Structures are given as structure tokens and as C-alpha cells.
A = this chain, B = another copy of it.
Amino acid sequence: MKRPEALTASEAVAHLKGGTLTAEALIHACLEQADAGAGIKAWSWLDPEQSLARARTIDRAGHEGRLAGVPVGIKDIIDTADMPTEHGSAIYRGNRPYADAACVALIRAAGGVVLGKTVTTEFANRHPGATVHPRNSAHTPGGSSSGSAAAVADFQVPVALGTQTGGSVIRPAAFCGVIGYKPSFGEFSRVGVKMQCHSLDTLGIICRSLEDVALLRGVLLAQEAHRVDRASAVPRIGFCRTPAWEHADRDTHALLERTAAALDAAGAKVREVRLTPADILDHHRRIFEFEAARNYAYEYEMHREKLSPALREGLLESGRALPLAAYIEAIETAEAFRCRLDDVFAEIDILLAPSAVGEAPEGLASTGDARFNAIWTLAWTPCLTLPAGNGRKGLPLGIQLIGARFRDEALLDAAAWVEARLH
């Protein structure tokens, strides 16, 4: 057996149910790892005593739930009744929600143990939190689900929840070298998740195996988990450089071209897919600004001085200035874009695209560029990033796979096929 903290959630469940591991030992190992990696600053709140007490209770009761004894990290824009939820903002310092978010309740009902709250950027937006990259503290871990990605990458927890409005699940997961998954829009409940943009916000999963994506997805949907098919048929793959291709760096260009060629050589009949309209990201931006400016009305009206200038001026004030007609045009453009993607996915099974511009950039002032992610957030399609080696600075690179909307299970199977051919 691997060291407990190195187990994936699915592996841990097998050991827990098989009697070769206790929840207490697993949680203890994760807490030790979190302690050793405290310099990464992945957690805004960690609750060792409560977690261990809960683990012991689960060990005594047997391990019945499908997550029984598995520690989970919860991004700190997600409500927890027994831990603070501060949204990465001084406005919510000490906020103790009355109720758990629906996703937290579902995880707990399945026996999952909330290890703590992971660092988020300010309101899951741009202004960074304290987390640094687990492999090089001079680099950003990505954002906004910074702590979730860093904690999973550093083996402090096997799975964590993140959210994505632009690129906040896929990008930090790719930067940190783990799996990030954003489901089809609307499938996972967002009750108790701080709403930024109701047309874009998507709860996602950060973990280290595709089986864990399926496991957590089942729990969050209150459905039986999909069993990832590791012997599925060869997927039809579209190579989509996206309109943002020129912004990707040389490492990413080389990785994607190499991967497309390798998958084609393995039988996937990779074909090129071009997307229109080219200015689709402008429409994402309009929706983001218009909705956020109204959704953060309380924070803007009552606590303006506690907002970062990036949020206040860069998002909320520009959003206030945006006319309703411009927003409606963006919504309608997004809907037409989704219809066009339906046509694309009639011919192929998954798209292959960059997960990010490149490795995690140096510096902590920015969490990086979301342009390779926002397009798929707008598309409402499921997507995931798989770790795919390192760039020239020795930091992880990822490749992104995108499935047809509401075909998340097929995406997982295709991702397993791709994953087996990456190394």
C-alpha cells in the first residue's frame, strides 16, 4: 500500500472498506502532510480535532457511505456551518454560515470528512489569496481555486472542491499537475456556493485520478457513480487550438501538437476543429461583468472600501456601466455558440485543447490567464485537465479534454483512453 496520504480517494475507500486502513490513520496522515507543507498556505481553515473525531466515529460505525472516512477540501466560497466561510475577503471575516452548502451536505451524508477550507482568491475572482505553488513558492498555484489545487497536488488531501466562472478549476489544477474537472453546467448544485455569475458559475472537482472524478460526481449528483471504462472504444478527437492559440507559449504549442499526433498515431483519427465566433471571449467577459456587478451589490454598496481595486473597478464598476442590451446580446451569442458546439460534437467525441497558456507563471500577484478555460465555461460543456509532463521551468503542464454537454460519462471514458497514451 502507498503511504495513506498518497492514496486517491477511490483507493482509500477500497482500503477502508477492506479493513486495511482506518479513517483516523488516513486523516492523520493528511494532516501531517498539511503540517509539513504549511508553507504552501493551501488552507484558510484546517480543523484537525474535528476531522480526527469524525474519523474515529466513522471507524467505529463501519465504513458504510461511499466516501466514508475520505477527507475532502472545500474551497472557501462554499458554506460550511461548522467552519468559517470568508470568501477570500475581509468583508466576510468570521462569517459562520447557518447551513452547509448542498455539496457539503451531500459529501458529509456519504461519509466524507471536511478537512478544512481551502484558500480562494477574493470572491473567486482575480485578487490572489496566500497560496503558493507547491513545487516552487515563487510561482502562483493558479486561481481562483488555489488552495484546492495546491492541497491535492501536495497530497494534503485526495480531493477538493473548486468552482469555475472563468478558468478557476482547470487552470490551477493544470498548474499544480493534478486533475481538474468541470461538469456540464447546471448539474451540480450551487446552493451555498457564493454566486458570482449565475450563467457561468460551475462547481468542480480537483483530484488525482479519473475514478475519483466519477466517485465525487456520483456523490454530488446523488446518483450511482459511473464506472470509468478503461477499455473503451477509440474516441474521435477534435484538435481545437481555440481562438486564443497565439497566446499559448512554445511549451504548450509543442505539447498539444505532440499529443494530437500521438493520439492520432494511436488510432483516434484526430481532426482539426475551428471555433467561431473568434470574439467569443468578449461575450464571456460581458456576461461576467454584467452579472457580477449586480450579484455583488451588497459588497459594493456596503463595503466598497474592502474590495480590491481589481474587483471594484476592473469588474464591478465596468459591469455597472454595461447596458442591458450588451448583456442580452452576449447571452444570445453564447446560446448560439452552444448550438454550434452541439453540431461539432455530432462528428467527434472529445476536443483536445490547451489547459492554460503554459506553466504556472512566476510571481504571486496574478493567478494567470483564463482564456483557454473561459470559452468552455461559456460553452456549458464538461471539461477536464490531465497532467501531461513539465515545461521548461520544471512545472506541470496539462492538456484539456472537452466533452459534449451532458455527456460527462463519455468524457471520462475518453479521458481514460487518452491518459493511457500520454506517457
Contacts and interface: CB of A to CB of B under 8 A. Distances in A.
Nearest to A223: B324
Provide the main secondary structure of the chain A interface: helix
Contacts of A222: 293-294, 297, 320
B323 A223 contact: yes
Contact of A98 (B95, B109, B190, B331): B95
Interface in A220-244: 220-223
Interface residues of A, number: 47
A188 B327 CA distance: 12
Nearest to A195: B191
Interface in A312-326: 320, 323-324
A410 interface: no
A254 interface: no
Contacts of A298: 99-102, 104-105, 191-192
A105 B293 contact: no
Q: Copy number in this complex?
A: 2
A27 to B, nearest CB: 21
B189 A297 contact: yes
Contacts of A105: 297-298, 300-302
Indicate the member of A104, A187, A190, A222 with the most B CB atoms within 10 Å.
Answer: A222
A75 interface: no
A220 B295 CA distance: 10
A199 B198 CA distance: 10
Interface in A151-209: 186-192, 195, 198-199
Nearest to A329: B406
A290 to B, nearest CB: 9
A48 interface: no
A97 interface: yes
A106 B294 contact: yes
A328 interface: yes
A189 B291 contact: yes
Interface of A: 91-92, 95, 97-106, 108-109, 186-192, 195, 198-199, 220-223, 291, 293-302, 320, 323-324, 328, 331-332, 406
25 contacts: A92-B98, A92-B99, A97-B98, A99-B299, A100-B302, A101-B298, A102-B298, A103-B297, A104-B298, A105-B297, A105-B298, A105-B301, A105-B302, A109-B297, A109-B301, A186-B199, A189-B295, A191-B195, A191-B295, A191-B296, A198-B198, A220-B294, A221-B324, A222-B297, A328-B406
